[in-house]
A and B are shown apart, each in its own frame.
Chain A
Amino acid sequence: MSQPESAVADAQAGDRGGATPMKGESLAAFAERHGLRRSIARPALPVYLRQLWQRRHFIVTYATSRNLSKYSNSVLGQLWQVITPLLNAAVYWLMFGLILGQKDKPGVGGNYTAFLITGVMVFTFTQRSVLGGAKSVSSNLSLIRALHFPRASLPLAYTLQELQQLGWSMAVLIAIVLVTGEPVTWLWLLIPVALLLQTLFNLGAALMVARIGAFVRDVNQLLPFALRTWLYASGVFYSIQEQTKGLPELLRWVLEVNPAAAYIQFMRDLLIFEQAPSAVTWITCVFWAVCALIVGFLYFWLAEEKYGRG
Chain B
Amino acid sequence: MAELTKERSQVALEEGKAAQEVVRAPEKRGKPTVVVDNLHIVYRVYGAASVHEKGNAANALMRILRRQGRPQMKEVHAVKGVSFVAYHGDAIGIIGRNGSGKSTLLRAIAGLLPPTKGAVYTDGQPSLLGVNAALMKDLTGERNIVLGCYAMGMTPAQVREKYDEIVEFSGIDEFVNLPMSAYSSGMGARLRFAIASAKTHDVLLIDEALATGDREFKRKSQERIRQMREEAGTVFLVAHNLDVIEETCNRVIWMHKGKIKMDGDPDKVLAAYTKN
Interface residues of A (CB under 8 A from B): 1-3, 5-7, 9-10, 12-13, 16-21, 26-28, 30-32, 34-40, 54-55, 57-58, 61-62, 65-66, 68-69, 72-73, 140, 142-149, 217, 305-306, 308-310
Q: Complex: how many Å from CA A16 to CA B86? A: 11
Given contacts A34-B32, A39-B122, 16 further A-B contacts (CB under 8 A): A13-B263, A18-B31, A19-B32, A21-B85, A34-B35, A36-B34, A40-B115, A143-B133, A145-B112, A145-B113, A146-B132, A308-B43, A308-B107, A308-B114, A309-B43, A310-B44
| Those of B110-165 within 8 Å (CB) of chain A | 110-115, 119-123, 125-128, 130-134, 136, 138-139, 143, 146-147, 150-153, 155-156
| Contact call B121/A306, Cβ cutoff below 8 A | no
- Going nearest first, the 7 A-B pairs with the smallest beta carbon separation are A39-B111, A31-B121, A9-B263, A36-B121, A27-B37, A18-B29, A58-B150
Quick check: which of B8-16, B51-59, B76-84, B220-228 contacts chain A, the rest being far away? B76-84
Quick check: A36 and B262 within 8 Å, CB to CB? Answer: no
Q: Contact between B110 and A19 (Cβ–Cβ < 8 Å)?
A: no
Cα-based distance from A145 to B110 in the complex (angstroms): 9
- What separation, in Å, do the CA atoms of A305 and B85 have in the docked complex? 23
Note all chain B residues with C-beta closer than 8 A to A143. 133-134, 151
Smallest distance from the beta carbon of B198 to chain A beta carbons, Å?
Answer: 13
Chain A residues with CB under 8 Å of B87's CB are 16, 18-19
Q: Does the CB pair B32–A146 fall under 8 Å? A: no
Say yes or no for B27: interface residue by CB 8 A criterion.
yes
* B264 adjacent to A17 (CB under 8 Å): no
Counting CB contacts under 8 A, is B30 at the interface? yes
Cross-interface CB contact of B122 among A13, A37, A147, cutoff 8 Å = A37
* CB of B21, distance to nearest CB on chain A (Å): 16
Given contacts A17-B27, A34-B123, A310-B43, contact A149 B84 (CB under 8 A): no
Contact of B26 with A by CB under 8 A: yes
B264/A9 in contact, CB under 8 A? yes
27 contacts between A and B (CB under 8 A): A2-B259, A9-B253, A10-B84, A12-B264, A18-B87, A19-B31, A20-B85, A27-B83, A34-B123, A36-B121, A37-B122, A38-B122, A39-B120, A39-B122, A40-B114, A40-B120, A54-B153, A58-B151, A65-B143, A69-B136, A143-B133, A146-B130, A147-B128, A147-B134, A147-B151, A308-B113, A310-B45
Q: Known: A37-B121, A145-B107. Contact between A309 and B151, CB under 8 A?
A: no
Question: How distant is the Cα of A310 from the Cα of B44 in the complex, in angstroms?
Answer: 6
Contact residues in B for A148 (Cβ distance below 8 Å): 110-112, 125, 127, 153
Determine if B260 is an interface residue (Cβ-Cβ < 8 Å): yes
Closest B residue to A20 by beta carbon equals B85
A308 and B121 contact, Cβ closer than 8 Å, known pairs A58-B150, A145-B107, A149-B153: no
Residues of B within 8 Å of A57, CB to CB, are: 150, 155-156
Tell me the smallest distance from the CB of A77 to a CB of chain B, in Å: 11
Query: How many Å lie between the Cα of A68 and that of B115 in the bound state?
Result: 36
CA distance A44 to B129 in the complex (A): 26
* Cα distance, A252 to B263, chains bound together (Å): 70
B18 to chain A: closest CB distance in Å? 13
> Once the chains bind, are A6 and B259 in contact (CB under 8 Å)?
yes
Q: Does B17 contact A (CB under 8 A)?
A: no
> Across the interface, do B46 and A19 meet the contact criterion of CB distance under 8 Å?
no
A147 touching B85 in the complex, CB below 8 Å, given contacts A12-B263, A36-B123, A40-B115: no
The answer to whether A61 touches B131, judged by C-beta atoms less than 8 angstroms apart, is no
Asked if B126 and A39 make an inter-chain contact with CB atoms under 8 angstroms apart, the answer reads yes
Instruction: Return B102 CB to nearest CB of chain A, in Å.
Output: 14
A13 adjacent to B85 (CB under 8 Å)? yes
Q: B130 near A147 (CB under 8 angstroms)?
A: yes
A66 CB contacts on chain B under 8 angstroms? 136
- Of A9, A17, A30, which contacts B29 at CB under 8 A? A17
A68 x B128 contact (CB < 8 A)? no
Chain A residues lying within 8 Å of B111, measured Cβ to Cβ, are: 39-40, 148
- CB B6 to nearest CB in A, in angstroms, measures 17
Query: Which residues of B (157-211) have their CB < 8 Å from a CB of A?
Result: 179
